[in-house]
Structure 1
Amino acid sequence: MSKLKVCCFGLSLDGYGAGPDQSLENPLGVGAMALHEWFFPTRTFQSMVLSKDGGTTGPDDDFARAGFENVGAWILGRNMFGPVRGDWPDDTWKGWWGDCPPYHTDVFVLTHYPRAPVVMEGGTTFHFVTEGIETALGRARDAAQGKDIRVGGGVATIRQFLAAGLIDEMHLVLSPCLLGTGESLFAGLDMAALGYRVKSSASTDAATHIRIDRGN
């Protein structure tokens, strides 16, 4: 059976998964690019996101590559798709990633405002779901056809799925930086009471990789 997973999700030492004031200039919020400094040099980032050759190999790249394996569908929050707020003014905005996004599957975007699906190059189609996380998950399971579903973020979306006890596995990446403010992933969530446990951790020169799953 497919699993609902969070992979390669960056956190600061003070627990923030995004910075404040998301904009075109700061797509992850002010200061939050530092959360992903471990990821940018990897061969996986260079090939999957930038469509370039080269990049570093080793443990960080191993974790990054594993995050894309056996993924049959994605779920994103509205803010993860872009900085547009409120009703869609037109169909101009089609995501941060250009004509060929790195998903190559169906992607279900949570929003309060309906929009027709957006078909992109490389097999990515963005579907806009207004009925909430349960509906998005059901549609993603159908699309994934037995493969796993990856929740890409942002913070508010992951928190909703965690609070509902729906996420099966998480791979968090603790980066050596402090944001001071932004969106806190775990504030108000009792992860132990929700049944989650730390499965493993591994440190590299760039970050600490932590795996969390639902304990029995």
Structure 2
Amino acid sequence: MPDTTCHMSMSLDGFVAGPDQSRENPLGKRGLELHGWHIGDPRANDADRTATEWLMRPRGAYIMGRNMYGPIRGEWDADWTGWWGPEPPYHAPVFVLTHYAHDPIQMEGGTTFYFVTDGFDAAYAAALDAADGKGVDIAGGAATVRQALKAGVIDELTLDIAPVLLGSGERMFEGNGSFGFEPVEVLHSPLATHIRYRRIS
């Protein structure tokens, strides 16, 4: 069975997004500083390009939280189809965790957003079914990854640790008492240390 994966950028002090996420700052204040390794910083090297290949490899389905999907909170009171424009990079079903029901949104390039209101386990079961054996990725954000870690479903976890201190924001490992992974590959660049972990069986 193909792996369930998760790939997240993180600051040295453990934040995967900065504070005060908004339409203007979808990754929170200074959150974009965690992602220079794959969004065009001229200092990016072969390690960053390899890690970008890890990040962008096709998967059969994805799971993300509502905060990652967009800035709207509460009831769906605005027409919103995600941050990514008419053709999101997923090209597969994406299951969005939310407390508020919404009809599916079909986008160009094969991405359809499905909105799941009955919790992570239901979203994961739906994603496994939709992936048709091609693997599931836990796309983020922090709260969704925490739920996946608690459920023990992640087989491969990649962290891109940027030499940045955010001071506050969203922590991915908040409340998780044990790690349960071992490093199997490490790549370095001036912009990030890319560590690929496998779950300890």
TM-score by length of 1: 0.88
Q: 2:176 aligns with which of 189, 192, 196?
A: 189
Tell me, in whole angstroms, the C-alpha distance in 2 between the residues paired with 1:145 and 1:68.
19
Structure 2 residue identity aligned to 1:6? C
Asked if 1 retains the 8 angstrom alpha-carbon contact of 2:146 and 2:174, the reply is no
TM-score by length of 2: 0.94
Residue identity over aligned pairs, in percent, reads 48
Match of 2:77 in 1: 89
Asked if 2 retains the 8 angstrom alpha-carbon contact of 1:2 and 1:141, the reply is no
Mapped pair 1:137 → 2:124: yes
Paired residue secondary structure (1:96): coil
Match of 2:188 in 1: 203
Match of 1:2 in 2: 2
Tell me, in whole angstroms, the C-alpha distance in 2 between the residues paired with 1:96 and 1:144.
23
Task: Report the alpha carbon displacement of residue 125 of structure 1 after superposing the two structures with TM.
Answer: 0.4
Asked if 1 retains the 8 angstrom alpha-carbon contact of 2:93 and 2:114, the reply is yes
Q: 1:70 and 1:97, CA in 2 relative to 1: closer, same or farther beyond 3 A?
A: closer
Structure 1 residue identity aligned to 2:159? L
Paired residue secondary structure (1:37): helix
Q: 2:163 aligns with which of 161, 167, 176?
A: 176
Match of 1:47 in 2: none
Gaps of 5+ in 1: 43-55
Tell me, in whole angstroms, the C-alpha distance in 1 between the residues paired with 2:178 and 2:198.
10
Q: 1:76 aligns with which of 42, 64, 82?
A: 64
Match of 1:53 in 2: none
* 1:35-66 deviation line (CA, Å, top 9, x unaligned): 00111028xxxxxxxxxxxxx76221111112
Structure 2 residue identity aligned to 1:103? Y
Task: Report the alpha carbon displacement of residue 68 of structure 1 after superposing the two structures with TM.
Answer: 2.5
Asked if 2 retains the 8 angstrom alpha-carbon contact of 1:5 and 1:167, the reply is yes
Q: 1:65 and 1:104, CA in 2 relative to 1: closer, same or farther beyond 3 A?
A: same
Paired residue secondary structure (1:62): helix
Tell me, in whole angstroms, the C-alpha distance in 2 between the residues paired with 1:148 and 1:203.
27
Asked if 2 retains the 8 angstrom alpha-carbon contact of 1:119 and 1:125, the reply is yes
In the TM superposition, 1:159-174 aligns within 5 A as 159-174=146-161
Number of residue equivalences: 201
Structure 2 residue identity aligned to 1:5? T
RMSD: 1.8
Gaps of 5+ in 2: none
In the TM superposition, 1:97-108 aligns within 5 A as 97-108=84-95
Match of 1:64 in 2: 52
Stretch moving more, 21-30 or 198-207: 198-207
Tell me, in whole angstroms, the C-alpha distance in 2 between the residues paired with 1:206 and 1:21.
24
